[in-house]
Amino acid sequence: MGLASDITNRDARAVSRLLSWIEDNDPRAPAELKEIYRHSGNSYLLGITGPPGAGKSTLADRLISHYRAANLRVGVLAFDPSSPFSGGAVLGDRIRMQQHATDSGVFIRSMANRNWPGGIGRAAVECARVLDAFGCAFIIVETVGVGQGDVDVARLAYTTLLVVTPAAGDKIQAMKAGVIEAADIVVLNKADLPDAEHAAKSLEMILGIHPRGGWQVPLVRAVAREGEGTGDVADAIDRHRRFIKQSGALEEKKQEGLRNHLLDIVHRKCDEALRLRMTSDKELDSYAERLFRGAADPYSLAEEIIRKEIKI
């Protein structure tokens, strides 16, 4: 009996171990992932993104409480910047969402993004699968918060929340070219601050010119630290969930996610196979020497290597 069986039997320690294997690219992980795959596919994925300090973790904490009140199991993958020295999560040792630490119906994992672009780590899809098989009705994926390029979560999540604050000011205008276009719901957090009304008007104007296939992206005001607006955010999530289910967009999004994940696995397998075959530094040096002498271009050499080493 492996970790997969323990995970489907609600063993949180088995979940922690497999997530660590996935993060560390442990060769034992794929066999367990194969086993849990047929037990997954039932969770609803929520993405929470936004600039640092916007209150993403606080909002996630309030949403956890909301769903736990309905007796729903919740999983959280909170991505942090990676340490340039250890590779671990810079903020991974901070206490997140303390009130849920002893709740067996909540699993929270702080993870390093390993400098992967887009605000989440490469392991996000597989880690979400594990929490899915663990029986989580909702999985919240919180991004690093790197800015307007922080959009990978929208490809993973079914509903993506962008959290901003009135302090963003004129920066809101610049955001319209980036992550704001990927948001399904915009949450104006810290809406009790003096500039909230001005920020709300700016956001409403931007959202009005970015239709999303029949879905009008709502602006929800909240003061997450006080729990104000949590119900409104949850209602907006529920409305979007119903909309994409009825329109067929949810099924399309799931299929697209599976295609992308499959392609990523193939890419990784090919990369691993090539690295195993090209074990000699001298062999690689010979290719580099041909480039240096101008005897070949890198594109033709890459095609030659693929034909020779991977037999494609």
Token pair for residue 40? 């997954």
The whole-angstrom separation of Cα 133 and Cα 2 is: 14
> What angle is formed at CA 109 by the lines to CA 108 and CA 115, rounded to 5 degrees?
145
Determine the length of the chain: 312
pLDDT of residue 276: 74
pLDDT of residue 305: 81
161, 185 contact by CB (below 8 A): yes
Long-range contacts of 99-104 (CB under 8 A, 24+ apart): 99/61, 99/65, 100/61, 100/64, 100/65, 100/68, 103/68, 104/10, 104/12
Chain CA centroid to CA 247, Å:
24
Which single residue is written with the structure tokens 């909540």? 106
pLDDT digits (tens, 9 = 90+) for 65-95: 999 999 999 999 988 764 444 444 444 434 5
Give the single-character DSSP code of 220. E
CATH 3.40.50.300 fits 3-247, yes or no: yes
pLDDT of residue 148: 47
pLDDT at 214: 85
Task: Give the span between the Cα atoms of 163 and 49, in whole angstroms.
Answer: 6
User: Residue 310's pLDDT is what?
Assistant: 67
Pair of tokens at residue 172: 């809101």
Check residue 73 and give its pLDDT: 97
Give the pair of three-digit tokens for residue 31: 């066999």
Task: Identify the DSSP state of 158.
Answer: S
- Side chain identity at 198, as an amino acid letter? H
On whether the CB atoms of residues 96 and 110 are closer than 8 A, the answer is yes
Residues of the chain whose pLDDT is less than 50? 82-94, 115-119, 148-149
C-beta atoms surrounding 101 within 10 Å: 10
The H or E element spanning position 273 is helix 249-277
Neighbours of 244 (CB within 10 A): 19
Q: Closest by alpha carbon to 302, among 276, 265, 288, 282?
A: 288
Q: How would DSSP label each residue in 110-144?
A: EEE-TT-TTSS-TTHHHHHHHHHHTT-SEEEEE--
What is the bridge-based pairing of β-strands 159-164 and 185-188?
Answer: parallel
Q: Tokens 């849920």 sit at which residue?
A: 100
pLDDT of 139 reads 97
For the chain, give every domain's residue range. 3-247, 258-310
SS3 82: strand
Per-residue pLDDT at 291: 92
